[in-house]
Structure 1
Amino acid sequence: MTDQAVDTNGTQLSGDGRPGAGGAAPTDSQFLGRTRELKELRADIERAGLDTIAGRKAPRARVLLIAGRPGSGRTALAEELVRGVAHRYPDGILRTRLTEPDGTPVPTDRAARELLGALDLPAPPGATDDDLTADLRAALADRGALLLLDGATDAEQVDMLLPETPDCLVVAVAEGPLTGIPDVRPCTLGGLDTKSAVELLGRFTGSVRITCDPRAAEGLVEECAAQPAALVIAGGWLATRPEKSVADLRKRLRALPDEGPALARVFQHTYQSLPSPAGRILRLLSLAPAGLADPHTASALAGCSVSAARTTLDDFAALGLVRTLEPPDSPLPRYEVPDCLMPLLRGLTETQDRPAEIQLARARMLERTVRLLQSCRAITETDSSPARRKLAGLPRALRFPDPRTAAEWLTVQQPALLAAARTAVADGQLDTLARRLMAALVRALVAHRGTEAAAPELYGIHQLVLDVAERRDLPREKAAALLNLADLDARTGRTGEALVRYRAALDAGRAAKDPYATGRAMESVGGAHQELGDWQRAADWFGRALAQRLARDEIADAARLHGRIAGVQTYAGRYGDALRSWRSAIAGHRRTGDVPAVARALSELARVQEYAGRPDESLRTCHEAVDWARRADDVRLQAALQVRLADTLDRLGDPAAARLHRAAAERMLGDELAGEETDPEAPVAGKDPGTPSSTYEIRSAPEED
């Protein structure tokens, strides 16, 4: 089966008319029919709106609505319209889908994040719908952009994303009218005109079979109700069976019961012609996350080899049952199940597969995804690490040749991976696998992108972990999820929300009898109070965490907490207490042999001595700190301390010695010192060097479901 299925836009197959990413760029000669609709839509852009007629400036973007049933080519028409008018909008085209393949509306925050991402603008993790849509409207206020909102379910969904400027244009695609948005006239789609529909068939069958029996071709168009998706599937069936005539297919379709939409009848005919194993794989594709599948997904769902799954998916693409998102010769091509076929596939799965078989297929798919994510993370580690040694024992199909390939796979698969996590949690029957999937996904994202870059995705995953932990009564995992969510809240300035979650994490850690989570939560509560400027409560909570560390003889953590207590005491102006705390911190670091930590603590001690009006003691402590920094072989810290010494000498009235120390610092770092903050440990509200910054992982053995 070598013929490439195409839609009404001449691009790779989409049963809903959506162009494939790997397809040819649409041209006027490739797009079929819809001349009247395109003319009306273009005219509607220029049409005076109600505000203009009333003498007012339009406060918002014009909305064009293309309405039609899935499979009518509504998105293909929207793409052709967008292509034709894109030159009027210098800031480009923004696209997002507002409906999941199962018909569930996409949350507004997710759609807004996608649009902000297309503008290369940050979308803070955990931000509310209102905040994100406000950011989007602000970003578009001085731009001329074209927004394509596909699969809108209601007017409110579109209204939340509308730019408040007439310089933008919104093209919305929906199944019905969007009542509630003023000044919108829907362009309602039916079937293609007969000439265009016959031409579409001819792209699959070749002109000879059409020319030999034009009446049969017109009859087949009638059987397909001239719907593009139905015509594509009919054409795919004929393309893979060159011995069959158009009349043969028409006769077969007429013999089917005249029930339901034309698309359902054409699909049923093609499905019945599939071998039993292929039919089973096609049915199970309804379980593919976000309707996205690759050979690994199909292989896991059906329990067959990866090569067999890829061959079958290629056959489906030729039949018009899936569309290819990557070139066929790519190492691991991706495919998408058209949205218009999803309800039909789910109906077949529910009637022909036992619930236990469906659940087993889901479990196999999740297990395969977990192993791929583990492999994706392991490739970033050193060759001698246990994870890399374990990776070497995996089948070749589950291994990545290098970190770059793994990172590209993670980026491409991210929508499907996040959808798999959401679906697994919503299912509720595979929580153990769901937990493993989310843990592997977090580690892979952090390994390849870092915590900060992956924060928006991590926030959603941690919320899913929290849902499972609360449902299964897993206090240890609940504490971990709350700590991670609170950390992300704190980094984005939502300190009040973070404090509430840290307190809840403390309760969960105590319920789990997990000392690590409990200590981490107490310290984080103190950090939140420090950020809020409540020095007394901050010192109190740091003191509670310190008592626990001392009771467990965790000297390094205790020394770090002494430093955090000294920091808030300095803020509060309690210099005597701060000096004692820094000396305790220095003693702890000396016991553990942490030379750089001793140098930094001595530097902070010198600062507090200066604040307390003891310049001579501060000078001696600075010299001692420089000696420790020299032992640590930390050139940057030495340079910072040399500058600290110079500042102290200036205040003591010795500018000559101060110049010598500044010159020494410049020799150490050269131009790197210019324009940079030379004090690595200056107290900054909300930023403490001892604050944990990595994603929290459960330290103890996980509880069983």
Structure 2
Amino acid sequence: MTDQAVDTDGVRLSGGAVAESHFLGRTRELKELRADIERAGLDTISGRKAPRARVLLIAGRPGSGRTALAEQLVRQVADRYPDGVLRARLGEPDGTPVPVERAARELLTALDLPAPPGAAEDDLTEALCVALAERRMLLLLDDAAGAEQVDALLPDTPDCLVVAVSGGPLTGIADVRPCTLGGLDTKSALELLTRYTGSVRITVDPRAAENLVEVCQAHPAALTLAGGWLAARPQAAVSDLAKRLHAETDEGAPLGRVFRLVHDHLPATGARLLRLLSLAPAGLVDPHTASALAGCSVSAARTTLDDFVALGLLRAVDSPLPQYEVPGCLYPLLRSLAEAQDRPAELQLARARMLERTVRLLQSCRAITETDNPEAREKVQGMPRSLRFPSPRAAADWLTIRRPALLAAARLAVADGELDTLARRLMSQLVRAMVAHFGTHAAAADLYGIHRLVLDVAERRSLPREKAAALLNLADLDARTGRTGEALARYRAALDAGREANDPYATGRAMESVGGAHQELGDYDRAADWFGRALVQRLARDEREDAARLYGRIATAHTYAGRYGEALRNWRAAVAGHRKNGDVAAQARALSELARVQEYAGRPAESLRTCQEAVEWARRAEDVRLQAALQLRLADTLEHLGDSAAARLHRGAAERMLGEELQEGHDSDSATEHGSDACEIRSAPIED
């Protein structure tokens, strides 16, 4: 494919994409749907209050205009639902049902409500029902594959309304009458054609236009493709297209016949790119995706995509960046043609090019945030101009907009099973980019899903080192969301994988995390034991900083268990370790904890001396918050010793310190969050 724009049958479309048209026809269906909202349900007739939201079902084949009708209905009745409209898509372009867990999570996110990473489907749907119970909202559930999906998301309140779009009935949901769509009425069908062809070509031969509508069975998607084909050929008569379609010998739906005609009249390069769009993750395409699939320049790809929009083959997505969507009704046709006309090796190569391009874009997206790193700046400058982002804000916007496609790309790459090396690189860069731009906490739900995919690949390819890393990351996220039991099981599995891989980092971190989980569960004896095992390994490897930190964790476990003697011994070891390492701030914090335990043990005089020493080291470390906290502890200790005047002095000093810090301003929390290294993917050496 050359760098030149692909024309359609030799004719360049000068007007760009056809503007999105207003809604056509379906007057009777809209009237019936609105009447169905007011219709008394079976519960009302029997004298009971409806326990759940009313469900309106719009059923029809893909391309029949079912989603457009649903959106038009939502626009007409939205003012009755003051809390707004929620939308969820329950089907992938290839027809795969979207997991209820993912749909519920997206809806909770849209409501600005927490959706803990890794939470079970039942927990998320229950949280959604609770959230909607106090609201009057309208839910649009598009592309529902079955009643189970819709039923799991139904609000338990009659004050909400659900508009579901599906290919068939939702058997199992009570009191649902489907509005089944056929073709458009003739007047609306002719108006749809007119928007592409202009009024003259329809009015000069109305019989031919009506014949074309009849051949297309008034199917909206088929008429859209027919109109686009005619718009690209101003000299062609409407009757010519009708005759061509009549001459088609292949039996099948009118959409398939019109689509094959449009495809066959594209130049070879354009037809090939169109078929390859069946590989686009989540059916979302941008110029980079198309460029990588076809092996052409980004500018040529964008021109061709705009031409496809004009032909009705793609929909332009309302987005700050150029993005397009493959209509769901065309996806199976594209995939069928690709499998028939392109060799499997060519399709796999195109998929690999697309994943490689995505990896490089993610590398650039992350590198632009490392403004203080000369190596990162040099690496960005070495990339082609088309892969560079002008600013961190532009990179973050791209990552946000392309997020659904990027996550879908990771899922598809792992499901493919033949591109695991690329899949691992893609997931590694996706994690790093998300952490760099959004932070570990904000991206936790997406990171959880990615780490599960990493675990799938590691188990499939027998990669114990990556398995250990994925398990550690998943367990960390479990622990943060209160699922300590699940976290403990994963930490133990990570320990086994780390030992299998002979990875001291993974085994050490897993042992320490097992201890932390036991401590969270209140089993302080086991916690101290596991911290001790981790300490032995750190000492054997002469990892002094980690050893000093582990002395503190052992001391904390003993403190919780009330064994103050053991706690004091380990805190003194931690203080000595930090002193040898030259870590002034850590030494001050360890002294602070030592003073706390001395106070618990009934040694206020010792606690006072230790606390004063800790204040001095905190001053040297320039840790104002710790100094203030220690001053308050000194005040409490002095009050216990009966020196109220000195206690007031220390408390006043603490208040002044905190006041000065507030005036100077705090560093952004996001800086600390973005710097977190909690979600890393450790793998065999691969290019970063």
TM-score by length of 1: 0.92
In the aligned structure 2, how far is the partner of 1:290 from the partner of 1:385?
A: 36
Match of 2:151 in 1: 159
Give 1:672 deviation, angstroms: 6.3
* 2:104 matched residue in structure 1: 112
Within the candidate set 571, 576, 579, 2:560 is matched to 571
Matched to 1:103, the amino acid is G
Deviation, structure 1 residue 422: 0.2
Amino acid at match of 2:80: R
C-alpha spacing 1:488/1:620, structure 2 compared with 1 (3 Å): same
Q: Say whether the 8 Å CA contact 1:642–1:664 is kept in structure 2.
A: yes
CA–CA separation in structure 1 for the residues paired with 2:275 and 2:591: 68
Deviation at 1:694, TM superposition (A): 3.2
Q: Distance in 2 between matches of 1:502 and 1:256?
A: 62
Q: Which amino acid aligns with 1:200?
A: L
Please tell me the residue identity of whatever aligns with 2:346. E
Matched, 1:174 2:166: yes
Deviation per CA, 1:465-484, whole angstroms, max 9, x where unpaired?
Answer: 00000000000000000000
Q: Distance in 1 between matches of 2:122 and 2:537?
A: 41
Report how far residue 251 of structure 1 moved. Answer: 1.6
CA separation in 2, counterparts of 1:147 and 1:2? Answer: 39
Tell me the CA shift for residue 247 of structure 1. 1.3
2:290 paired with 1:298: yes
Matches within 5 A, 1:125-204: 125-204=117-196
CA contact (8 A) 1:5 1:232 kept: no
C-alpha contact (below 8 Å) 2:439/2:676 kept by paired residues = no
1:474–1:703 Cα contact (<8 Å) kept:
no
Q: Deviations over 1:570-611 (max 9, x none)?
A: 111111111110010011101111000000100000011111
CA distance in structure 1 between the aligned counterparts of 2:130 and 2:179, rounded to whole angstroms: 29
Q: In 1, distance between residues paired with 2:556 and 2:524? A: 9
> In the TM superposition, what whole-angstrom CA distance separates every residue of 1:546-593 from its partner, at most 9, and x where no partner exists?
000000000000000000000011111111111110010011101111
Establish whether residue 38 from structure 1 lines up as the match of residue 47 from structure 2: no
Answering whether residue 42 of structure 2 is matched by residue 50 of structure 1, we say: yes
Q: Given the alignment, which residue of 303, 307, 330 partners 1:311?
A: 303
Question: What is the Cα deviation at residue 383 of structure 1?
Answer: 4.1
Q: Does 1:438 align with 2:421?
A: no
Partner of 1:94: 86
What residue number does 2:439 align with?
A: 450
Instruction: Give the match's secondary structure for 2:114.
Output: coil
Is this contact kept in 2: 1:292–1:336, CA < 8 A? yes
In the alignment, which residue of structure 2 is the partner of 1:694? 677
The one of 522, 530, 554 aligned to 1:533:
522
Map 1:645-664 → 2, pairs under 5 A: 645-664=634-653
Q: Select the residue among 275, 278, 283 that pairs with 2:275.
A: 283
- Asked whether the 8 Å contact 1:2–1:318 carries over to 2, the reply is no
Report 1:323-342 matches (<5 A). Answer: 323-326=315-318, 332-342=321-331
Which one-letter code corresponds to 1:313 in the other structure? L
- Paired letter, 1:694: D
Structure 1 position 388, deviation (Å): 2.2
How far does residue 65 in structure 1 lie from its aligned partner after superposition? 0.4
**CA distance in 2: counterparts of 1:33 and 1:199, whole angstroms:** 9
2:329 aligned counterpart, secondary structure: helix
Q: CA deviation at 1:488?
A: 0.4
Equivalent residues of 1:3, 1:204 under 8 A apart: no
Counterpart residue number, 1:250 = 242
Q: Distance in 2 between matches of 1:231 and 1:622?
A: 81
| Secondary structure of 1:310 counterpart | helix
Task: Pick one of 511, 515, 521 that aligns with 2:510.
Answer: 521
How much does 1:433 deviate?
Answer: 0.2
Report the counterpart of residue 212 of structure 2 in structure 1: 220
Aligned to 1:465: 454
Separation (CA, whole Å) in 1 of partners of 2:406 and 2:539: 42
Q: How does 1:272-671 map to 2 (within 5 A)?
A: 272-326=264-318, 332-670=321-659
- 1-structure distance, mates of 2:450, 2:157: 35
Native 8 Å contact 1:313 1:322 kept in 2:
yes
Residues 343-402 of structure 1: CA distance to partner in whole angstroms, max 9, x if unpaired? 000011101111111110010000000000010000011243422211110001101011
Structure 1 contact 289–416 (Cα < 8 Å) conserved: yes
Equivalent-residue separation in structure 2 for 1:703 and 1:325 (angstroms): 35
The CA distance in 2 between the partners of 1:482 and 1:272, in whole Å, is 50
- Letter of the 1:697 partner, please give it: E
Superimposed CA distance per residue, residues 258-313 of structure 1 (whole angstroms, 9 cap, x where no aligned partner): 51100000011110110000000000000000000011001101111111111111
Identity of aligned residues (%): 78
Report if aligned partners of 2:589, 2:614 keep a CA contact under 8 Å in 1: yes
Q: Alpha carbon RMSD of aligned pairs, Å?
A: 1.6
The Cα shift of 1:253 comes to 1.4
1:495 deviates by 0.3
Gaps of 5+ in 2: 1-12, 664-671
How far 1:696 moved relative to its partner? 4.3
The residue correspondences of 1:230-245 to structure 2 (distance < 5 A) are: 230-245=222-237
Q: State yes or no: 1:207 paired with 2:216.
A: no
Supply the AA of the counterpart residue of 1:123. A
Give the match for residue 669 of structure 2: none
Q: For residue 701 of structure 1, report the CA deviation from its aligned partner.
A: 4.0
- Secondary structure of the residue aligned to 1:490 is helix
Contact 1:109 1:132 in 2 (8 A): yes
Which residue pairs with 2:668 in the alignment?
Answer: none
- Kindly state the Cα deviation for residue 665 of structure 1 after the two structures are TM-superposed: 1.4
Match of 1:61, as an amino acid? A
Q: CA deviation at 1:693?
A: 6.4
How far apart are the structure 1 equivalents of 2:250 and 2:203? 28
Matched residue type, 1:604: E
> Which whole-Å CA distance do the structure 1 matches of 2:578 and 2:584 have between them?
7
The change in CA–CA distance for 1:703 and 1:540 in structure 2 (over 3 A counts) is farther
| Separation in structure 1 between the aligned mates of residue 224 and residue 17 of structure 2, nearest angstrom | 7
Q: Supply the distance in 1 between the matched residues of 2:45 and 2:39 (Cα, whole angstroms).
A: 10
Over residues 294-351 of structure 1, what are the superposed CA-to-partner deviations in whole Å (9 max), with x where a residue is unaligned?
A: 1100110111111111111111011000011147xx6x41011000000000011101
**Do 2:470 and 2:681's aligned partners in 1 also have CA atoms closer than 8 Å?**
no
| 1:398-428: CA deviation from partner (whole Å, max 9, x where unpaired) | 0101110000000000000000000000000
1:463-516 CA deviation, whole Å, 9 max, x = no partner?
000000000000000000000000000000000000000000000000000000
- Deviation, structure 1 residue 98: 0.6
Aligned mates of 2:485, 2:573 — CA distance in 1: 31
8 Å contact kept, 1:476–1:698: no
How far did residue 5 of structure 1 move? 5.5
Q: How many residues align?
A: 665
Distance 2:120 2:681 in 1: 28
Moved over 6 A (4+): 671-674
Q: Return the alpha-carbon distance in structure 2 between the equivalents of residues 258 and 509 of structure 1.
A: 59
C-alpha contact (below 8 Å) 1:224/1:230 kept by paired residues: yes
Distance of 1:469 and 1:176 partners within structure 2: 39
SS at match of 1:339: coil
Distance 1:604 1:346 in 2: 64
For 2:589 and 2:373, the matched residues in 1 are separated by: 33
**Deviation (angstroms), 1:700:** 6.8
Letter paired with 2:625? R
